[in-house]
Amino acid sequence: MRRLIGGCVLMVILSQSANTTYAQHVKAPSAAEVFCRRLVKAKTIACTVQTYMLFSAATHEMSANLNPCQRYEVKAVRPNCLSEVGTPGYDWPSVGKAGNAQFTMAGNSLNVFRANAKGRIQIDTTRRYYVVGPALKSLSDYPKGSNDAIYAGLIFDKYPLIDPSESPAISFEPVPDETLHGITVAVYMERTVDHTGQWKLYFDKRTGELQQLSIFNTGRDGTLVEDDRVEYSHWQFDVKFPASTFDTTPPPGIESFEETMKRLKRKRAERQGKQPLGASR
């Protein structure tokens, strides 16, 4: 739910200047406001997205360590053509509480996503299988059960200006500027803290571009701890993409998910059939 309404949060900040009375001087829109307006009006959008985990695979708890996950090159054409090409997800080795070796999947295994007016395809380039589905209704119509690593709703959803008093669950307010990677950023913090955490947005003070989304959750000591971070860069608007960008044709040498499951079941049956009589299965 939070990701589906994520697109609202970019536009909520625009309401800050709408609260002035008729007699007050109307302020010029901030760079962040100008960027948000451009974002929801652009026919085509491109950006680079870097995801992180602030999570310890060893303890399975939130951690201060910033662990890079996947990097995505994102291209989109409204209303429903989308390409997300990400670096592969990977198995993060760790040790369980009982001392046994185990693995934690870091990132999204289906690291390539393409959609056009006819349908969509998701590809796991490591395990070499794909999943197909119907066309998206909109750019933020992310398939249920999929890991929306780039927070598509935050980037693409087109919403009208929203009065924070009418939508307190997604209301943001400006907080003091901060410095991020050597630049001054305008910061907006979610007003309401619920059980699923609190969002914080960072915009380049000069260009207005969205730089980072940080998601905070409640730690064991009851304080808010950042446990999810997404960085955005290389924004481009109204650019042309090759038609192949949104091609949903399954690539050669990669089988469907259903075919993969059938093949694995056959192999398992073959292995079990070769076990000595009375052996545990």
* Maximum distance among all Cα pairs of the chain, rounded to whole angstroms: 90
Higher pLDDT, 144 or 86: 86
Residue 102 confidence (pLDDT) above 60: no
Mean pLDDT of 30-52: 89
> Which CATH code for domain 6-18+28-258?
2.50.20.10
Return the percentage of the chain with pLDDT > 70, whole number.
70
Residue 277 confidence (pLDDT) above 80: no
> Predicted confidence band at 236 (pLDDT cuts at 50, 70, 90)?
very high
Residue 265 confidence (pLDDT) above 80: yes
Residue given tokens 């800050």 in the structure block = 16
Looking at every residue in the chain, the average pLDDT score rounds to 78
Residues whose CB falls within 8 Å of the CB of residue 278, separated by 6 or more in sequence, listed in order = none
- In angstroms, the CA 209 to CA 233 distance is 8
Is the Cα torsion angle 169, 175, 178, 184 positive or negative in sign? positive
208 Cα distance to chain centroid: 20
CA nearest to 229, candidates 155, 157, 150: 150
Would you state the pLDDT for residue 169? 44
Out of 16-30, 108-122, 187-201, pick the least confident: 16-30
Would you state the pLDDT for residue 170? 54
CA nearest to 12, candidates 246, 199, 235: 199
Domain ranges of the chain: 6-18+28-258
Mean pLDDT of 74-89: 93
CA nearest to 147, candidates 69, 221, 93: 69
| DSSP H or E run through 198 | strand 198-204
Tokens of 64: 């201060």
> Predicted confidence band at 36 (pLDDT cuts at 50, 70, 90)?
confident
Residue given tokens 């709703």 in the structure block = 153
CA nearest to 109, candidates 94, 92, 134: 92
Residue 223 confidence (pLDDT) above 80: no
- Measured between alpha carbons, how far is residue 49 from residues 22, 34, 85, 141, 147 in Å? 40, 21, 10, 18, 14
Return the percentage of the chain with pLDDT > 90, whole number.
36
pTM given for the model: 0.78
